[in-house]
Structure 1
Amino acid sequence: MATHKILVIDDSRVIRMRVRDMLPQGNFEVLEAKDGIEGLDAIRGQRPNLIMLDFLLPRMSGWEVFQEIQAQPDLQHIPLVLMSGRKEEVTEKISEPFEYFEFIQKPFEQKELIEAIKAAMTKARKPRPKAVVAAAPTVAATVGAADSGEVAALKAQVAKLEAEVVQLKGQVSKILTFIKQRMK
């Protein structure tokens, strides 16, 4: 029976399978989640030894999952590899250097994946400042139950809009490239 659990949270079945295939054969179980809510449920229920988290996810974004992990001291020490096709999506919300998790840009090769996992394991062991850990629950505790539902709904809308903006930026970039090629 597997003693280590690796959770891959990505809406792309291809990426989940690719990660599974790239991992060396060993004494671990690969768990999969296709969206942020399913991923967070798996984190809480399965307590994985490593989390591979896509930044753009349906239902609950990778950014929101990341914030939830960081707000809970019992989860924040799980090694985390954040994945995205565009690093600027991540650096817009989290400034570098990434102190407590590792980032890997999609698409990636097996060697890059293994190195990212090793780095994430090292970073997860770093001690966290107590002030940051203590501040997160205090902020959450000040929000009333009715307000927290509205805040969660607004956050979900903002995450969806941000994902749409990223997609639109990519489409505009492709259109501009096409136009420039045609003008030559």
Structure 2
Amino acid sequence: MAEDAPRRVLIVEDEDNIALALDFLMGREGFDHARISTGAGALDLIREMRPDLVLLDIMLPEVSGYEICEAMRTDPDLRGVKILLMTARGSSVERRKGLALGADGFIAKPFELKELRAELHRLLDEAA
């Protein structure tokens, strides 16, 4: 990918109010981004879009973020895609489970946009 090409981020989030805030942040940061609101179809979209990072809610309709994370880490074509898990259940147990399944980061909702922005840049800069 060319150095000046925008980073691609896929938002997998079912709550519209959170997705709107994320959409605003992604646009402000200059990321090329898309959103899907259910877990079903997320893996197909990830394979099609080939994002640099997936911003992945854990509690999703149909297929959980944990299941998507695990499937991504067992797919050789998707192993290099960064995963930032988001959840309203920000316990240490949830964090450990997400990281054990292969997530690169974890952020508890509600989060400050500044905190999320820092985490996005940390993960994307690692990938560069």
Question: Normalised by the shorter chain, which TM-score bucket?
Answer: 0.7 to 0.9
Check conservation: 1:100, 1:124, Cα contact below 8 A: no
The corresponding residue for 2:118 is 115
The corresponding residue for 2:34 is 31
What secondary structure sits across from 1:52 in the alignment? strand
The one of 5, 10, 14 equivalent to 2:8 is 5
Deviation string, structure 1 residues 71-95 (Cα, Å, up to 9, x no partner):
1122121122110011226236346
Query: In structure 2, how many angstroms separate the alpha carbons of the residues matched to 1:29 and 1:90?
Result: 29
Q: Which runs of 5+ in 1 are unaligned?
A: 126-184
Normalized per residue, the structure richer in strand is: 2
Deviation string, structure 1 residues 22-47 (Cα, Å, up to 9, x no partner):
23535432200111122212101111
Scaled by the length of structure 1, the TM-score of the pair is: 0.58
What secondary structure sits across from 2:21 in the alignment? helix
Pair 1:21 & 2:24 matched? yes
Shift of 1:5: 2.0
Check conservation: 2:26, 2:33, Cα contact below 8 A: no
Q: Name the % identity.
A: 30
Check conservation: 1:86, 1:106, Cα contact below 8 A: yes
What secondary structure sits across from 2:24 in the alignment? helix
The count of corresponding residues between Structure 1 and Structure 2 is 123
The one of 33, 56, 59 equivalent to 1:53 is 56
**Which structure is higher in RCO with an 8 Å CA cutoff and minimum separation 6?**
2
Scaled by the length of structure 2, the TM-score of the pair is: 0.81
The one of 95, 98, 107 equivalent to 1:91 is 95
Normalized per residue, the structure richer in helix is: 1
Query: In structure 2, how many angstroms separate the alpha carbons of the residues matched to 1:19 and 1:92?
Result: 24
From the superposition, tell whether residues 93 and 30 of structure 1 become closer, same or farther in structure 2 (CA, over 3 Å).
same
